[in-house]
Amino acid sequence: MRATLYEYAILYHPKPKKDAAGNEEPVKSAMVQDVMRTLAMSEQEVTILAARQIPSDYLDKLDQVEIRIRPF
Protein backbone atom coordinates (compact mmCIF):
# COMPACT_ATOMS: atom_id res chain seq x y z
CA MET A 1 0.00 0.00 0.00
CA ARG A 2 1.33 3.45 -0.94
CA ALA A 3 1.20 6.54 1.20
CA THR A 4 -0.68 9.58 -0.10
CA LEU A 5 0.42 13.19 0.08
CA TYR A 6 -1.85 15.35 2.25
CA GLU A 7 -1.91 19.00 3.22
CA TYR A 8 -3.49 20.16 6.44
CA ALA A 9 -4.04 23.38 8.36
CA ILE A 10 -5.35 24.06 11.83
CA LEU A 11 -7.87 26.90 12.19
CA TYR A 12 -9.38 28.63 15.21
CA HIS A 13 -12.93 30.00 14.97
CA PRO A 14 -13.56 32.03 18.15
CA LYS A 15 -17.10 32.44 19.41
CA PRO A 16 -18.73 35.81 18.62
CA LYS A 17 -18.36 38.45 21.33
CA LYS A 18 -21.23 40.58 22.60
CA ASP A 19 -21.05 44.36 22.71
CA ALA A 20 -22.52 46.57 25.46
CA ALA A 21 -25.98 46.40 23.85
CA GLY A 22 -25.90 42.59 23.77
CA ASN A 23 -25.45 42.34 20.01
CA GLU A 24 -23.06 39.72 18.68
CA GLU A 25 -19.89 41.06 17.08
CA PRO A 26 -18.28 38.73 14.56
CA VAL A 27 -14.73 37.68 15.41
CA LYS A 28 -12.27 36.78 12.68
CA SER A 29 -10.95 33.22 12.43
CA ALA A 30 -7.22 32.63 12.71
CA MET A 31 -4.70 30.06 11.55
CA VAL A 32 -3.19 28.14 14.44
CA GLN A 33 -0.90 26.10 12.18
CA ASP A 34 -0.07 27.15 8.63
CA VAL A 35 -0.45 24.62 5.83
CA MET A 36 1.75 21.57 6.37
CA ARG A 37 2.41 18.59 4.12
CA THR A 38 2.75 14.96 5.16
CA LEU A 39 2.65 11.46 3.76
CA ALA A 40 0.07 9.18 5.32
CA MET A 41 -1.89 6.05 4.63
CA SER A 42 -5.30 7.61 5.40
CA GLU A 43 -7.06 10.82 6.30
CA GLN A 44 -7.55 9.45 9.82
CA GLU A 45 -3.79 9.19 10.23
CA VAL A 46 -3.40 12.81 9.10
CA THR A 47 -6.07 13.90 11.58
CA ILE A 48 -4.13 12.30 14.43
CA LEU A 49 -0.85 13.85 13.28
CA ALA A 50 -2.46 17.27 12.95
CA ALA A 51 -4.19 17.02 16.34
CA ARG A 52 -0.78 16.54 17.93
CA GLN A 53 0.25 19.92 16.48
CA ILE A 54 -2.47 21.87 18.30
CA PRO A 55 -0.74 24.19 20.79
CA SER A 56 -1.63 23.76 24.47
CA ASP A 57 -3.17 27.27 24.47
CA TYR A 58 -6.07 25.88 22.41
CA LEU A 59 -6.66 22.56 24.23
CA ASP A 60 -9.44 24.09 26.34
CA LYS A 61 -11.13 25.45 23.17
CA LEU A 62 -11.14 22.35 20.97
CA ASP A 63 -14.79 22.93 20.04
CA GLN A 64 -13.58 26.06 18.21
CA VAL A 65 -10.61 24.40 16.48
CA GLU A 66 -10.91 22.93 13.01
CA ILE A 67 -8.45 20.71 11.15
CA ARG A 68 -8.76 21.04 7.37
CA ILE A 69 -7.25 18.23 5.30
CA ARG A 70 -6.71 18.01 1.55
CA PRO A 71 -5.39 14.91 -0.28
CA PHE A 72 -3.46 15.04 -3.55
Count of domains in the chain?
1
- The yes-or-no verdict on residue 20 having pLDDT over 80 is no
Q: Return mean pLDDT, the chain.
A: 93
50, containing H or E segment:
helix 43-51
> What pLDDT score was predicted for residue 12?
97
pTM of the model: 0.83
Per the CB < 8 A criterion, the answer to whether 58 and 65 are in contact is yes
The per-residue pLDDT for range 31-64, each reduced to its tens digit, is 999 999 999 999 999 999 999 999 999 999 999 9
**Domain, as residue range, for 50:** 4-71
Q: What percent of the chain has pLDDT over 90?
A: 79
Name which residue leads in pLDDT, 9 or 20: 9
